[in-house]
Every structure is written in C-alpha cells, then in structure tokens.
Structure 1
Amino acid sequence: MTLVLRFGSGDTARCRFAVSPLQETMSALLVLKAPHRQAWYLPWLRGIQDVVAGLDLGLLGVAVPVRGHGPDFLWPSPTGPLTTIEDDLAQVRAAAPDVVAAELAEHARRLDPRTVPPHLYRALTGDPVAARDRLVAHQREAWRALVAPLWDRVRGLLDADITTRARQLADGGLEGLFADLHRRARWENDALHLRGLRRGSLDLRGRGLVLVPTAFGWPNLGIGPTGATSAAPPSLVYPMLGAARLWAPAARPPAIARLLGAGRAAVLAETLVPGTTGGLARRVGLAPATVSHHLTVLRDAGLVTAERRGHEVLYRQTPLAAALYSGGV
C-alpha cells in the first residue's frame, strides 16, 4: 500500500521542520504498548520501570492504538521548531467538541468493548469535552513521567537532525531531502510516495508539509492529520538521525581528561548531543556557572560552536572535537 502526497503551487515553499514534545510522548506510550519495539529502547525502559509501575493513564491508554489510525486531535501538527509541551497540549485542548466526538466514536467502533473496562468505554463515547480534558491531563502526566526527564538530550538530537535536513533541502530541494529521509519515502513526479501507509492520495492544497523528526518513533514513518476537511498541514513524522546517541554514554577518553581537566572533558563529551548550558549542567552534574565557563573556554579553542535557538543557546561539538575524540589529531 502507498499513500501519495501531491504537491501543488505553494506547497514546496510551505514545507518546514518542527519538533513536538507531545509527539515524543505519544510515541513513547506506543513503545510501552508494543513489546516487539521495546528492544530498541531497553536503556530507557530500564530507567523508568518504577515510574511505569505507578502510571495509570486509563482513558489515554484506550485511545492510543498500537496499530492503525487513532484520533487525529491527539496528535496535532506542531507549530514550529520551538514548540513546547504546553503549545502542543493547547492545540489538543482547543479541538472542537464535535471533532472530538466524531473521532472518538470512530475509534470506539474499532475497539472490542469486551477488552475495554466499561467505565473507560463510556468515557470514550460520552461527553466529548470531559473526554478531551481528561485526555489532555493524561498526556501531560505521561510527558512528565516518560519524556521530560531526558528531553534536553532528545531535543539536542532533534535540533541536530533538523540542521542536517535543512542543509539537504537547501542543497538538493525536496528530491535531495527525501532521498534518504526513510526507506519507505520516495520523491517522484512532484509527489511524495509513502509505502506501508494506507493506499490513496492526499493533495496538500497549499498547506505545505510539516517535517517532524522523532526519537521514540524509530524506525517507523507516520503521517497525520490526513482528513480531507483538515485545514492544518499534515505532519510527516520520521526517525531522527543518530538515534543511537540518545542511549550511548558519552565517551571520555582518559587522555582528553588529562589534557582538558575532568570537568571540561565531561562537558565536551556531552556536547556530542547538542544542549543548552542548563541541560549540559544537569547531564554532567556541575553548576551551570561552571559549565558556562567551560563552554566559553571550549568555544575559544574551536571545540564547540554556539547557535541561538529562540531565547536559548545550543552548544555542539565541532569537527575538530570529533577528530580529537577519534584520534584524528
């Protein structure tokens, strides 16, 4: 099966990148519900065992299918690369009651009522405003428990992916971008062909396309919303580059620690995954002021770069630092 996205006048210019804390949260929930995907996330699963044991998401667990299509309003298209969890949740909370009712009713028809606790089934098909608000509360709880503790590291990798993909788009247009975005995505005749999704075609109608890298969605490819009446641009969710870095401990060769000092070497090692001063301080267990000083020295030495992201500054290793770690200098 193949879904074909047809680009018309203006759609190419309206393609943009975004991140979504809520997308990561919902994808993390799917990892918990799909044992066949859990092998890729074992380090994360080991670290949240106690949290998961005490997590009761009730209605949200019923509303999120392991396979197939779920309610679109629970997966809003993010607004941009600086989207916060509150931005995402505000979109869910703003979903019209008639839309919520229709999508939850459609989802309920795909469920076997015998496998769902009666009180949750009634909540799913009852008052849409109450159901929507309850689902938003569960999404916030899931975010805090599952994703927020490692969001700085996830966010750094998502930003690094966007930087790389934006360069591909600038250098090779959409054809260059989609050449290696995902093995099931192919650009042909001014249209994007997505294998493994429902058969059909979707005209973007000048809305463009939002490209959303994901850590917890690996290795899948997803898209939504795709409803014919939706005014929002669809979001194409694809696995980010360098996902293995998320779980790998930062390498800290003894020679570099002797050269730079233990604290500065630790900060440099962590910038393999881009991060802010505060985020890096949490990762290495040092005071933000100390990390800020180390970053200034590392930047002056050409080992890290600083890029502004909204009101934040993101630090990442330079090729010189990477060569130093690999023994290339």
Structure 2
Amino acid sequence: MTLVLKFGRGDAARCRFAISPLQETMSALLVLKAPGRHGWYLPWLRDVQPDLARLDLGLLHAASPSNGYGPDFLWPSPTSPLTTIDDDLAQVRAADPATVAAELAEHVRRLDSHALRDDLHRILVGDPVIARDTLATQQHLAWQALVEPLWDRIRGLLDADIATRARQLADGGLERLFADLHRRAIWKDDELHLTGFRAGTVDLRGRGLVLVPTAFGWPNLGIGPTDDTSVPPPALVYPMLGTAQLWEPATRSPAVGRLLGSGRASVLAETAVPSTTGSVAHRLGLAPATVSEHLTVLRQAGLVTATRRGREVLYRQTPLATALLRSEPW
C-alpha cells in the first residue's frame, strides 16, 4: 500500500527541516519495546537500564504506538531546527481534551485488553486532561533518562544531516532530496510516494512538508498528520545520516597522539560527531578552557570546522582529520 503526497504550487518552497527532542524520546521508547531491532542500540540500552528501574513510565508505555498506531497528540510536529523539549511538551499540554479523548479511545481499542493493567486503562479512558498531563509528565521523565544525556551528540548529527539535505535540495530540488532519503520514499510526477503506509492521497495545499531527521527511529519512516484538513503540514520523520556514529567509540590513532599530544588528539577524535566545547569537555573530563584552546589550534590547522547554531558553536572534523585518525603507523 502507498500513501501519496501531492505537491502543488508553493509546496516545494515551503518544505523545511525541523528537529524534535520529543520525537527522539518517543522513538527511544519504541527501541525499548524492541531492543533487538539493531545491535548498535545495545550500548545505549545498557547505559539507561539503571535509570529506567527508578522511573514509572507505565502509562506512557501503554500509550506508545501499537501495530503502527499511536495517539498523534503525543508526537507534535516540530516547526523549527531549534525546537526544545519545552517547546514540544508545551504542544502536548495544549492538546484539545476532545482530541486527546478520541485518540486515546482509538488507541485503547487496538490494545490487547488482557495486557493492559486496570489502573492504566482507567486513566487512558478517563478524564482526558488528567491523562494528557500525566503523559506529558512521563514524557519529560523519559526525556531526562533516555535522551538528554546524549542530546548534544544527537543534536550535532541532526544538524549535520539537515545541512547535507538542505544542500541536496538547493542543488537538485525535491528530486535530488528524495533520491536517497529513504528506500520507501519515491519521488515521481510532482508526488512523493510513501510505500508501506495506509493507501491514500494527501494534498499538501500549499502547506509544504516538514522533514524531521531522527537518531532513534532507524530504520523506519514516519508521517503525520495525514489529514487534508489539518492546519499544520505533515511531518516526514526519517533516519538521519551517520546514526551509527553515536554509538561507535571515537577513533584514535597512536601516531596522531604522538604528533598532536594525547590531549589534543583526544579532543580531535571527539569531534567526529559535531560537538560544543562544553560537551567535549564533559566527555573527556577536561576543563572547558583547555578544550577551547585545543579546538582553536585544531581549527587553525584545518583539522576542525566551526559552525554557529544559535548561541552555540559546533566543531566537527574535516576530511583531513578523519583520514589522519584512521591512519596506521608504518
């Protein structure tokens, strides 16, 4: 089955990129439900287990997608590359109670009634305001335990993906952008065909499309809302480039350590994922001033680049640095 997005006049110009800390959080919960989906999540799963044991996320787990369906209000569409977790949660808490009640009722009908605890069932089908606010509170707890400790690294890769995709869009339009976005996204005749979804057609009607890269959503493709009458544009959630880099240890070459010194070489290795000075300092246990000095020298030597993101500056290895770190001594 295929869902078709129809692009009309003005839709291409209104395609934009966004990120969502809450999308990452909800996707991380789905990884917990299917931990064997891909081996590279295993280091993360081991790290978060102690925190999960202390959290009550029962209602949120019960409300998470089942068989491809989940309450849409728990997955608000982001609007900006600078979206914060507070922005996302504000949208959840502002969801109309009637919408919350209808979506939770539809979700509960799809669940195995024998697998749902009675107390959770009562909340899900009870007062929608209580259910909504309880779920938002548990989403915040899940964010703090599952995603926030890694957010700087995740955010760096999300930004790198957006930069790459935006260049594709500028160079070759929508045809170039969708050529390798996802194997289930096919561009033809001014339409985007998404295979594996409920058959139907969505006329974008000048709203455009929001493109949302994700770290925890691999290898899936998501879309919503898909109602022609919906005011916000649909958001297409796709796996970001370089997801495996989140879990791979930083590459360090002994020869580069001797050339640059161990401290500077370690800082360089950590910039495989775009990172701020503070995040590198935290990961290496170094003073931010020391890391800043190393990064300045590395930038002057052409081994890292610096890109401003709001008030922050992200540092990333250049191709020369990557080649050096992967080299073997003769």
Between 60-69 and 70-79, report the one with greater CA deviation: 60-69
Residue aligned with 1:37, SS? coil
Q: Which one-letter code corresponds to 1:155 in the other structure?
A: R
Alignment-derived partner of residue 301 in structure 2: 301
Residue 314 of structure 1 is matched in structure 2 by: 314
TM-superposed CA distance for 1:314, in Å, is 0.8
Question: 2:242 aligned with 1:242, yes or no?
Answer: yes
Contact kept, 8 Å, 1:30 with 1:66, in 2: the verdict is: no
Q: How many residues were matched structurally?
A: 329
What is the CA distance between 1:327 and its match in structure 2? 3.4
1:310 corresponds to which letter in structure 2?
A: G
Q: Tell me which residue corresponds to 1:259.
A: 259
Q: Name 2:194's counterpart in structure 1.
A: 194
Counterpart residue number, 2:289: 289
Aligned-partner Cα distance in 1 for 2:111–2:326: 52
Aligned residue in 2 for 1:174:
174
Paired residues for 1:63-78 under 5 Å: 63-78=63-78
Q: Name the CA distance, whole Å, in 1 between partners of 2:3 and 2:100.
A: 25
Aligned amino acid, residue 180 of structure 1 = D
RMSD across aligned positions (CA): 1.5
Stretches of 4+ aligned residues off by more than 6 angstroms: none
- Percent sequence identity over matched residues? 74
SS at structure 2 position matched to 1:213 = strand
The answer to whether the 8 A contact 2:65-2:71 is kept is no
Say if 1:264 and 1:294, in contact at 8 Å, map to a contact too: yes
SS of the aligned residue for 1:48 comes to: helix
Q: Which sections of structure 2, spanning at least 5 residues, go unmatched?
A: none
Q: Does the alignment pair 1:80 with 2:80?
A: yes
Answering whether residue 46 of structure 2 is matched by residue 46 of structure 1, we say yes
Structure 2 counterpart of 1:275, which letter?
S
Q: Assess if the C-alpha contact under 8 Å between 2:24 and 2:147 holds in 1.
A: yes
Cα distance between partner residues in 1 of 2:40 and 2:224: 24
Q: Which residue of 2 aligns with 1:108?
A: 108
* 8 A Cα contact 1:76 1:225, kept in partner: no
Between the aligned partners of 2:38 and 2:140, the Cα distance in structure 1 is: 22
The one-letter code of the counterpart of 1:326 is R
Contact 2:251 2:269 in 1 (8 A): yes
1:261-276 correspondence runs (5 A): 261-276=261-276
Match of 2:151 in 1: 151
- The letter for the 2-side match of 1:25 is T
Query: Who is 1:231 aligned against?
Result: 231
- Greater shift after overlay, 43-52 or 17-26? 43-52
Distance in 2, matches of 1:49 and 1:104, equals 28
Deviates further, 224-233 or 271-280: 224-233
Residue 48 of structure 1 and its aligned partner are, at CA, apart by 1.5
> What residue is the counterpart of 1:183 in the other structure?
183
Please say which of residues 51-60 and 200-209 is displaced more in the overlay. Answer: 51-60
Alpha-carbon contact 1:275-1:315 (below 8 Å) kept:
yes
Quick check: 2:57–2:142 contact (8 Å CA) kept in 1? yes
1:32 match: 32
* C-alpha separation in 2, matches of 1:262 and 1:301: 16
Instruction: Normalising by structure 2, report the TM-score.
Output: 0.96
C-alpha distance after superposition, 1:164-202 (max 9, x if no partner)? 111111111000000000111100000100111111111
* CA displacement at 1:38 relative to structure 2: 5.0
**For residues 304-327 of structure 1, what are the alpha-carbon distances to aligned partners after superposition, in whole Å with 9 as ceiling and x for unaligned?**
111111111111111221232233
- Inter-CA distance 35–303: structure 2 relative to 1 (3 Å threshold): closer
